Amino acid sequence: MQLTNRAKVLEKKPMTLAERAYLPAIFQGLSITMRHFFMKKATIRYPEETRPFSPIFRGLHVLKRDEQGRERCTACGLCAVACPAEAITMVAGERKKGEEGLYREEKYAVSYEINMLRCIFCGLCEEACPKAAVYLQPDKMAPPRYERDEFIYGKDRLVEPVSPDARSIRGIQLTPEQAEALRSKLA
Amino acid sequence: MIEIPTLGWQSIVIFVVFALSLLIATYCTYAERVIAAFLQDRVGPDRAGPYGLAQPLADAVKMFTKEEFFPGGANKALFIFGPCLAMITALMSSAVIPFGNNVSFGNNLFFLQGIEVNIGMLWIFGVVSLGVYGVMIGGWASNNKFSLLGAIRAASQNISYELAMGMSLIAVLMISGTLSLREITLQQSIAGEWHFWNIVKQPLGFIIFLVCAFAETNRTPFDLPECETELVGGYHTEYSSMKLGLYLFSEYVNIFVVSAVMSVLYFGGFNFPFQYELRDWLVSNHDWTLASAQNLITFLGTAGLFLKIFAFIFFFMWIRWTLPRFRYDQLMRLGWTMLIPLAVINILITGGLILFGVI
Ligand code: SF4
Ligand code: SF4
């Protein structure tokens, strides 16, 4: 019975002498591997070289500041509600007198934590935020760490630095200690 | 002028050869990984030191610091003895290989060869076939069925292929009429005469020998004794730490020795083309003494021999990362029904050619 006419009839031919001798096939194989020996290598030597990211890549979060360097987040909790992975927790607090230069709104996030092990990098928090405070950066990733605790990113690692610093080297978010060490090395 | 006793000189050569085979085996592990990587469009280990050249050191540290594990019910003494035997036999065979012609300084004339015996070829064969005992003992002492299967495979494979190997060798011995490796090398290039390397006289014999060499060293496509897909790890399944390291290491030493033997038997050993012309030219046009010109030729020849050896080692690795493993019945069929008859035919042809004075 023929279901489609794509079926291919295979003839079982007896092997020729060259095929049975096996040596020509070996030389064919050897020439193929030798060709690959001189080919361009596919390896990307990671820490020194990085793969180019797509411009819409959703990577590590950042909490943005406004033009005057004030934190934009008002701890409304919309991002936490939107988050399908329940990765975001925060504690809200009221801005004191004299802190106007630090926080834009009267209510701000005293603590703001994202668990990068829970996060699925869907970007819904970014879409939910009314203050354009949280963004997923297109060029940074959460690097591997040894301890689970280290994947809970607090404000120390999320808030955009006032001035760009060594954190952004190689596109990796460093821990504060690592950043400190790097800064003192660079200085 | 000081006289150096022959024994002293020989022990120096043996020591150097010993160190060299260990060094070469060490860097074979590195070369294997880099070549494998290059053949697969990768770059291989490049983190330890410049170009990853310290990788063998890192591997050695890893091997030495791993846990020593003895499986329950294993025969402890034999379990330790197995890898030692494999390593010892692998290292022993290089003693008779002529790594160079003679050097002379003063009245001393030395051969760059550990021991010159007139049964060099027999010695190598005897020692190499002892090597399978290391595998056998290790596999049996592990008290593990996979190890035992691997060991049995190794034994039957080595016995089958030793036959064909020995027969392909007989053809070489018929031409040379001697078992001394130095004699065989020298015969491949006699001053004043035009002499070809044995590969020209023995192409079929060389192919048989090459295939058998792969089987004897348990390299792909004949690595049935340790094939991971069927036997976990074969005879070294239960081995850990440096005992495993010794097994892996002895494989590379074996490759080195077999490459050296092939270079000596079929590719002229330490001879290189136009060596006598070069010597005469140096003596007549540049006022070199005959002795110093000969010394230069010897050192160039040693370098040439090592080039040949490295080329063979590369070939071994190239094959490994190209061909898939044979099935066990295919392996046996190839050995008994193809290689041995071919070797016999080769002997007959060689005998005929000698009889009619062609070679
Ligand atoms: S990217 Fe998605 S999963 Fe991650 S924190 Fe934002 S909303 Fe949650
Ligand atoms: S990041 Fe945006 S959505 Fe989330 S709490 Fe802050 S202001 Fe609200």
- The ligand minimizing its distance to the Cα of A60 is 1
Tell me if B41 and A34 make a contact (CB, 8 A cut-off): no
Total number of domains constituting chain A: 1
Name residues 255-294 of chain B within 8 A of A (Cβ).
none
B chain contacts of residue A33, beta-carbon cutoff 8 Å: 39, 318, 321-322
Q: What are phi and psi of A83, to 5 degrees?
A: -65, 115
A2 assigned to some structural domain: no
Binary contact (A33, B43; C-beta < 8 A): no
Q: Digits of tens for pLDDT over chain B (359 positions)? A: 566 677 777 788 888 888 888 888 888 889 999 998 998 888 888 888 888 888 888 888 888 888 888 888 778 888 888 888 888 888 888 888 888 777 777 677 777 777 777 888 888 888 888 888 888 888 888 888 888 888 888 888 888 888 888 888 888 888 888 888 888 888 887 755 666 788 888 888 888 999 888 888 888 788 777 777 777 777 888 888 888 888 888 888 888 988 988 888 888 888 887 777 777 788 888 777 777 878 888 888 888 889 999 999 999 999 888 888 888 888 888 888 888 998 999 999 988 888 887 76
Contact of B189 with B199, CB cutoff 8 Å: no
Relative to beta strand A61-63, strand A134-136 is antiparallel
Q: Cα B204 vs. chain centroid, distance in angstroms?
A: 20
Nearest chain A residue to B46, by CA: A45
Q: How far apart are CA B34 and CA B46, in angstroms?
A: 9
| Within a domain: B310 | yes
Interface confidence (ipTM) of the complex: 0.75
CB pairs under 8 A between A and B: 34
Check pLDDT > 90 for residue A69: no
**Does residue A41 form part of some domain?**
no
A144, part of any domain: yes
Range of the domain at B235: 6-355
Residue B338 DSSP symbol: I
Q: Which residues of B touch A39 (CB under 8 A)?
A: 41
Range of the domain at A109: 61-186
Least CA distance to B207: which residue of chain A?
A: A23
Spatial CB neighbours of B322, under 8 Å, sequence gap ≥ 6: A26, A29, A30, A32, A33, B39
CATH of the domain at A182: 3.30.70.3270
Q: Which of residues 11-70 of A touch B (CB under 8 A)?
A: 26, 29-30, 32-34, 36-37, 39-43, 45
Name the helix (H) or strand (E) containing B111: strand B108-113
Give residue A96 CA to ligand 1 midpoint distance, Å.
30
Under an 8 A CB cutoff, do A36 and B40 touch?
Answer: yes
What is the distance between the alpha carbons of residues B279 and B290, in angstroms, rounded to a whole number? 8
Inter-chain residue contact B42 with A26, CB threshold 8 Å: no
Here the tokens at position A124 are 């819904």
pTM here?
0.77
Domain count, chain B: 1
Could you identify the atom of ligand 1 that is nearest to the CA of residue A58?
Answer: 1
Is residue B298, in this structure, part of any structural domain at all? yes
* Backbone φ and ψ of B58, nearest 5°: -60, -40
Residue B1 lies in a domain: no
A49 domain residue, yes or no: no
Q: Which residue stretches of chain B are H helix? A: 6-39, 55-65, 76-92, 120-141, 145-176, 181-187, 198-201, 203-216, 228-231, 241-266, 275-286, 290-320, 328-333, 340-355
Domain-embedded: residue B186: yes
Question: Which chain A residues have a beta carbon less than 8 Å from that of B322?
Answer: 26, 29-30, 32-33
**Apex CA A97: angle with CA A93 and CA A102, to 5°?**
65
Task: Establish if A15 belongs to a structural domain.
Answer: no
Chain A contact probe: residue of B33, B34, B38, B334 with most A CBs at under 10 A = B38
The CA distance from B305 to B326, in Å, is: 31
Nearest chain B Cα to A21, which residue?
Answer: B338
Whether residue B319 lies inside any domain: the answer is yes
